[in-house]
């Protein structure tokens, strides 16, 4: 096979030049198919077996699972002996970016541009930069060198609801399921093993409008809404007393009252009111359980008016993550970087990989401060150390004889 791929900066330039904005607003949503094809082309050239799977009902969006497997796994696969294919490492990144405002940038967001020791472009830090580095790190590797499978996972729609990560459960081949996963979200190459989850809920109260001069003419939605607000504040205090984790900068679950709208005129009985809240659970708190508790409490507080309440989720929500500090990939990350694993304030695709049985580390070259910002960039001096770091993980989990990380 010819391993004549472009050099690292050229790989990144091509990824940046291929727009893949994802957004819940259909006007801005582009799909990631072309980035996936680009990566699959390169990885096939490097000897990886590439599986591209479209998201259900969305041909322009896809995940890529590219695997380089040791010979033993190939025969195991032929024998359909699924256990033999376990162990190994997945390097994971999302291929989509957030939308951008080109007029606020100093250079074209879709043209990689180098100045002052930094590479500028949409996705350099979050996180096409990592994907280019991952391809660079596996250049020249041959299946014969591996003792366990090496997987590159490139996903769709991380920035707009994580539909790509959620689709993996259906499409991940059972014969190759690495035990360890590294997600290259921007952490300035410091290891991260936990984050909070995220839920956004809309609480709607239906009333009936009428002339304000006579309360009998309608049913005011704002009055039960005031009970909803008070109940939420009480619940928030209870959650705060019940759950605490000092490893987070904000060591308790948060509940934010973010948006409220109701009524239209002072002299009309308010016919409907809606409140949007954001809830960020700590690891150990299950989103489904919280939703049920929210419903029970509000129905209890509203009494007879409970039938006027509807609750809907504004997003699927993201579960919290906690990979134990003792997990092999966390221990190795602490050793290779010299930094203790920490918690971060942003959510990632990690909980979905954890559900597939992987220990997940979040560690990537970018700086979170410049993600989702005009003039997003990646420091050139980060490139080489990042490649070395990724190769360290690959050597440990896919190439060394001694530790057998096969699932028990
Ligand atoms: Zn990201």
Residue 59 phi/psi, 5-degree rounding, is -65, -25
**How far apart are the CA of 258 and the centre of ligand 1, in A?**
23
**Which active-site residues does the annotation give?**
96, 158
Q: What is the pLDDT of residues 294-335, one digit of tens each?
A: 999 999 999 999 999 999 998 888 899 999 999 999 999 999
pLDDT of residue 161: 84
Q: What is the pLDDT of residues 325-337, one digit of tens each?
A: 999 999 999 999 9
**How far apart are the CA of 98 and the centre of ligand 1, in A?**
9
pLDDT of residue 80: 44
**How far apart are the CA of 262 and the centre of ligand 1, in A?**
35
pLDDT of residue 71: 77
**How far apart are the CA of 132 and the centre of ligand 1, in A?**
14
Structure tokens at 46: 């490097």
**How far apart are the CA of 395 and the centre of ligand 1, in A?**
25
Of 358, 401, 351, 400, the closest CA to residue 86 belongs to 358
**How far apart are the CA of 303 and the centre of ligand 1, in A?**
43
What is the Cβ-side half-sphere exposure of residue 146, based on CA atoms within 13 angstroms? 29
- Strand 321-322 and strand 192-195: the pairing is antiparallel
- pLDDT category at 401 given cuts 50, 70, 90 is low
**How far apart are the CA of 205 and the centre of ligand 1, in A?**
35
Kindly tell me if the per-residue pLDDT of 119 is higher than 50. yes
Average pLDDT over residues 20-28: 89
**How far apart are the CA of 372 and the centre of ligand 1, in A?**
9
What is the Cβ-side half-sphere exposure of residue 325, based on CA atoms within 13 angstroms? 8
Q: What is the pTM of this model?
A: 0.87
CB neighbours of residue 77 within 10 Å: 17
- What is the distance between the alpha carbons of residues 352 and 254, in angstroms, rounded to a whole number? 22
CB neighbours of residue 339 within 10 Å: 15
Long-range contacts formed by 333-336: CB under 8 A, 24+ apart: 333/182, 333/191, 333/361, 333/363, 333/393, 334/191, 336/389, 336/392, 336/393
Kindly tell me if the per-residue pLDDT of 379 is higher than 80. yes
């Amino acid at each position: 096979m010819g391993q004549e791929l472009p050099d690292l900066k050229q790989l990144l330039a091509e990824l940046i030049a291929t727009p893949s904005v994802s957004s819940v607003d259909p006007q801005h949503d582009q799909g990631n198919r072309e980035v996936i094809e680009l990566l699959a082309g390169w990885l096939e050239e490097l000897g990886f077996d590439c599986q591209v799977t479209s998201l259900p009902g969305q041909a322009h969006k896809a995940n890529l699972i590219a695997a380089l497997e040791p010979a033993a796994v190939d025969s195991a696969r032929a024998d359909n002996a699924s256990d033999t294919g376990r162990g190994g490492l997945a390097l994971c990144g999302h291929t989509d970016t957030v939308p951008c405002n080109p007029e606020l940038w100093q250079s074209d967001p879709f043209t990689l541009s180098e100045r002052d020791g930094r590479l500028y472009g949409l996705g350099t830090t979050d996180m096409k930069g990592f994907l280019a580095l991952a391809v660079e790190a596996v250049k020249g590797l041959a299946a014969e060198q591996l003792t366990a499978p090496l997987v590159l996972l490139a996903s769709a729609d991380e920035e707009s609801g994580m539909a790509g990560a959620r689709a993996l459960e259906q499409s991940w081949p059972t014969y190759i399921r690495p035990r360890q996963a590294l997600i290259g979200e921007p952490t300035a190459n410091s290891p991260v093993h936990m984050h909070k989850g995220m839920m956004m809920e809309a609480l709607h109260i239906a009333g009936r409008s009428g002339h304000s001069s006579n309360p009998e003419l309608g049913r005011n939605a704002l009055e039960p809404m005031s009970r909803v607000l008070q109940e939420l504040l009480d619940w928030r205090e209870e959650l705060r007393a019940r759950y605490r984790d000092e490893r987070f900068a904000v060591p308790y679950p948060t509940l934010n009252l973010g948006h409220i709208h109701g009524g239209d005129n002072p002299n009309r009985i308010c016919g409907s009111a809606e409140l949007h809240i954001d809830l960020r659970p700590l690891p150990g708190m299950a989103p489904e359980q919280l939703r049920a508790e929210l419903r029970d409490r509000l129905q209890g507080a509203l009494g007879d008016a409970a039938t006027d309440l509807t609750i809907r989720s504004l997003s699927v929500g993201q579960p919290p993550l906690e990979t134990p500090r003792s997990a092999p990939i966390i221990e190795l990350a602490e050793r290779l970087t010299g930094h203790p694993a920490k918690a971060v304030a942003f959510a990632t695709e990690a909980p979905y990989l954890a559900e597939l049985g992987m220990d997940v580390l979040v560690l990537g070259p970018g700086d979170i401060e410049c993600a989702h910002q005009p003039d997003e960039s990646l420091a050139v001096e980060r490139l080489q150390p990042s490649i070395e770091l990724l190769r360290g993980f690959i050597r440990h989990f896919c190439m060394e004889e001694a530790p057998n990380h096969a699932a028990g």
